Amino acid sequence: KEKKKITRELVQTVLARKPKMCSFLEWRDLKIVYKRYASLYFCCAIEDQDNELITLEIIHRYVELLDKYFGSVCELDIIFNFEKAYFILDEFLLGGEVQETSKKNVLKAIEQADLLQESQNEEWGGLSEDIL
Amino acid sequence: MPAVSKGDGMRGLAVFISDIRNCKSKEAEIKRINKELANIRSKFKGDKALDGYSKKKYVCKLLFIFLLGHDIDFGHMEAVNLLSSNRYTEKQIGYLFISVLVNSNSELIRLINNAIKNDLASRNPTFMGLALHCIANVGSREMAEAFAGEIPKILVAGDTMDSVKQSAALCLLRLYRTSPDLVPMGDWTSRVVHLLNDQHLGVVTAATSLITTLAQKNPEEFKTSVSLAVSRLSRIVTSASTDLQDYTYYFVPAPWLSVKLLRLLQCYPPPDPAVRGRLTECLETILNKAQEPPKSKKVQHSNAKNAVLFEAISLIIHHDSEPNLLVRACNQLGQFLQHRETNLRYLALESMCTLASSEFSHEAVKTHIETVINALKTERDVSVRQRAVDLLYAMCDRSNAQQIVAEMLSYLETADYSIREEIVLKVAILAEKYAVDYTWYVDTILNLIRIAGDYVSEEVWYRVIQIVINRDDVQGYAAKTVFEALQAPACHENLVKVGGYILGEFGNLIAGDPRSSPLIQFNLLHSKFHLCSVPTRALLLSTYIKFVNLFPEVKATIQDVLRSDSQLKNADVELQQRAVEYLRLSTVASTDILATVLEEMPPFPERESSILAKLKKKKGPSTVTDLEETKRERSVDVNGGPEPAPASTSAASTPSPSADLLGLGAAPPAPTGPPPASSGGLLVDVFSDSASAAAPLAPGSEDNFARFVCKNNGVLFENQLLQIGLKSEFRQNLGRMFIFYGNKTSTQFLNFTPTLICADDLQANILTKPVDPTVDGGAQVQQVVNIECVSDFTEAPVLNIQFRYGGTFQNVSVKLPITLNKFFQPTEMASQDFFQRWKQLSNPQQEVQNIFKAKHPMDTEITKAKIIGFGSALLEEVDPNPANFVGAGIIHTKTTQIGCLLRLEPNLQAQMYRLTLRTSKDTVSQRLCELLSEQF
């Protein structure tokens, strides 16, 4: 419930801001760093001493990762493959810290996992019941 | 449908998502979701055991429904089952569900931890990774209890894969953040430090995050990381942009790692000289690179480069030891202040704020004042303007306070509502802290109320009153200024509060001007009364009763107001009670009692400013405190210099650095119990600037003087600064008086000069010894006065005291109670002797008679005591009427002795006295009669 309230409050605050405004805003005792890509906003909440600019580039690197993985990522890719978006995020960030900044290394990990899935899928029969 | 669906698509899931997206209304969506939830529930409950794939699909659907914002209260068990699947995809979805939808169900936690334990032990790096991600995402205490001991081993084991090491480091970091007590330090810490040398930059990045957090709490344990971090950083900043391959981001080598290493170094003081030289080189290189032309026009390039630059500047500020680097940092930030990127302007303002508190760079920061003021005026983004306000506050000192306060005030007129209150607090603090001239302070606060009255919190207006009460050099000015401000047709209620309070205390200081006579003051305040809220009205009622004491001439007017139905029968209990009590007080109490009860407020004790406390609370304790501490230290340097040259007007003053941090506990609108002796404040002639040689007599001095006619010891005068006590003895025509001057403040009085001024007709020889010109705070000095009465006299000498207190010139004058009756020798005589002498003194000039109204209750015992105190003998059983009092004595002067007889006849019914004096000398009869008549 608290999470929903926070989300609503943040969405309102960030959407109210105009394009030329700075990408950082103070919110409660945290700072919000956000960036807009087409119709999507990406937000991070960071602490007082954290570096705002590098956080902005964390967002960008994540978008690059999605873009590379999906190939010209769009909003629908993220909706229909939300679990993949999570997996990529887990490889890139963990516990709120950057785990691996190399694009190559992150994508390699995800692709290996996908390979595992496909090899296991082969043993698996048809997809007839899948619609329910 | 998306064009790409990699890995194994779950068709059912895709169909469900499409359905949801096609819903035309919120109701339709909820209907679709409920249908799906019912379906999944029945599948989970059904007899047929579900295969792994179906479980995965349904769990995934539940997850999606949860992400849409709906509550999910089942499916956890199925997700836990997926954890123990051997299929990677099923396990992965199970972990995802657990990570997103943690539930503190203890039974589940046990099962989850069991599954994680198996995966950690599996030696399969992919499974280990999933398990570690789950721990890091959940980070619960139960997980810390189960795994905090295990993860360090995985982290430092020689055969652990790099990607697992990265996950293990960050997983441990997460557990340390949530449950630091459960993560034991040990041998592993030194091996973690050595990960800074690892070949894999991803491992170094993760390890640096972990070490930074651990080092904050255990600096000793991780201090070897400093030199390793410096050498790593050095290698990065000097590398060619291609050296680090995929770790180079838009031509910036390893920006994330650089930032993290610079943060790690901020956990420690500047390192040893050898390492320090290398670090300084690194920092210089980073500063130099900022001046090079960009290698790319992309914003990612400049962001990454500047992220490192800002972190380097943070480290420079943290070390605060290299003036050269600090000034370079300041210049760099100065360039950013005018950059076209809003983000950079914002960060430059923020970073400069901390730079302003370094003594090395404070002056350099100040050179940018015009740019910052301009930002305040032109920036379109409120968050940037907010930073500009912060920076102006941080760079403020004596030299620019007037300019900065003026700019903030003018900004306040148009400022965003969200930040007005904070600006008001800041202006109030700066105005007080850097006030050279307290009239400026008073003007500033009144302006604050005028411009942003709604945002002036209680603390701010309490504070201005506190300062005015504690500084008598500004009281007259404050009274005059609030009086003028109240003339505005519409003024803010806060102004009415301040005005009411100040006029109630110090309205007498401007009452001499016919334009602000007592009645005009009262009418002005009362014209606002009906527009004000209950607390303000209550305060005004207190002002009115104070007026009754200050200005007897408006007493009747005020009593009429108090007596009106709208007051006496007011629906508000507090107002009604005040009206009733004040009316009664004004009716029954004698002037003496009124003067005592309604005496001027005593000075407030020195405490931390309540405004500062409020600002700290508003901004969170950590940031403001540090800044304030350092600023306060500096302000001592600025203020604590030698005593400034005497100011040209008596209003100028130099506050001591601590004196401007007074605090106020609660609002004191009602009059409170005063110290025993009645006293008035220092009378300041606000309409003329010249400091006259001797002040007019302090108010109340006449009353005190009269009190000493019948006694020899006590407090003669008292105000906020000074107390004068007396002890005296007289024998025949000689007397000796000890005058005690007490400094009530904690500050030295300088040039302390008491002078006795004798009227021309004073026939007394007075010898005084000079006193020390400095009186320390809290100290008392004594002066002895020897008196000889040459012949009879009328006028008492005046004691004038001049001294300097905290830069202001103080001037106090009081009448010294040396009166003719002090040289009385009582004479006992029998009834017939008395009447015989009485008849001898029947010459009309020898007798003086006075009939007067009793000012005090007519008490026989008190009257007797007063006659004895007056110096004559009290003769019992002389007068045929036992209610009358008879006394006799001889006045001793150097030249003659004068026999005196007196008779006092009280008339209880009429509350009157008749006093008759017969002496051998007419002037003596006259003077003694005057003196004694005042006593009853």
Backbone torsions φ then ψ of B243, nearest 5 degrees? -55, -40
Cα dihedral B386, B389, B393, B397, rounded to 10, equals 160
User: Shortest Cα distance from A44 to chain B (angstroms)?
Assistant: 16
User: Shortest Cα distance from A10 to chain B (angstroms)?
Assistant: 15
A74: nearest CA in chain B? B2
Cα–Cα distance, B904 to B924 (Å, whole number)? 17
- Residue B747: Cβ-neighbour burial (10 angstroms; 0-12, 13-18, 19+): middle
What confidence score (pLDDT) does residue B290 get? 92
- Say what the ipTM of the complex is: 0.90
**CB neighbours of A61 closer than 8 A, spacing ≥ 6?**
A92, A101, A103, B249
Residue type, B643: E
Q: Is the CB of A132 less than 8 angstroms away from the CB of B4?
A: no
- Is B886 annotated as ligand-binding? no
Specify the range with the lowest mean pLDDT, choosing from A1-5, A70-74, B282-286, B355-359.
A1-5
Q: Is the CB of A20 less than 8 angstroms away from the CB of B342?
A: yes
Task: Name every chain A residue with its beta carbon within 8 A of the beta carbon of B44.
Answer: none
* Residue listed under structure tokens 């516990």: A95
What confidence score (pLDDT) does residue A120 get? 58
A-contacting residues of B 262-291, CB under 8 Å?
263
- CATH number of the domain enclosing A89: 3.30.450.60
- Is B12 annotated as ligand-binding? yes
* Residue listed under structure tokens 């500050």: B747
A80: nearest CB among B2, B307, B384? B2
Q: Is the CB of A54 less than 8 angstroms away from the CB of B67?
A: no
The reported pTM is 0.65
Instruction: Please list, residue by residue across B896-912, b when 16 or more beta carbons sit within 10 angstroms of its beta carbon and e when fewer do.
Output: eebbbbbbbbbeeeeee
DSSP B565-634: HHHHT-SSHHHHHHHHHHHHHHHHS-HHHHHHHTPPPPPPPP---HHHHHHHHHH-HHHHHHHHHHHHHH
Mean pLDDT of A127-132: 34
Its domain, for residue A92, covers 2-131
**CB neighbours of B422 closer than 8 A, spacing ≥ 6?**
B389, B615, B618, B619
For B479, the token pair is 């009274």
CB pairs under 8 A between A and B: 197
B248: nearest CA in chain A? A102
B-contacting residues of A 76-115, CB under 8 Å?
76-77, 79-84, 86-87, 90, 94-105, 109, 112-114
Domains contained in chain A, number: 1
What confidence score (pLDDT) does residue B672 get? 37
Instruction: Please list, residue by residue across B292-309, b when 16 or more beta carbons sit within 10 angstroms of its beta carbon and e when fewer do.
Output: eeeeeeeebbbbbbbbbb
Q: Which of B194, B254, B203 is nearest to B229 (CA)?
A: B194
Give, in degrees to the nearest 5, the angle at Cα A33 between A28 and A38: 130
User: Shortest Cα distance from B73 to chain A (angstroms)?
Assistant: 14
pLDDT higher than 80, residue A105: yes
Q: How many CA atoms lie within 13 A of A80 on its CB side?
A: 23
What confidence score (pLDDT) does residue B655 get? 35
Backbone torsions φ then ψ of B633, nearest 5 degrees? -60, -40
3-class DSSP assignment, residue B801: strand
User: Shortest Cα distance from A98 to chain B (angstroms)?
Assistant: 7
Cα–Cα distance, A35 to A42 (Å, whole number)? 5
3-class DSSP assignment, residue B677: coil
Q: Which of A40, A39, A85 is nearest to A66 (CA)?
A: A85
Averaged in consecutive runs of 10 residues, what is the pLDDT profile of chain B (936 residues)? 50 89 91 92 82 88 90 87 87 91 74 92 90 92 91 91 95 93 89 94 96 93 94 91 83 95 96 93 95 92 96 94 92 93 94 89 91 91 90 93 93 86 90 87 90 85 88 90 91 92 93 91 92 92 91 90 86 90 88 84 72 68 41 36 34 33 34 34 30 59 80 84 86 84 86 78 65 83 82 84 83 86 86 84 84 86 86 84 88 85 88 89 88 87
Backbone torsions φ then ψ of B727, nearest 5 degrees? -145, 125
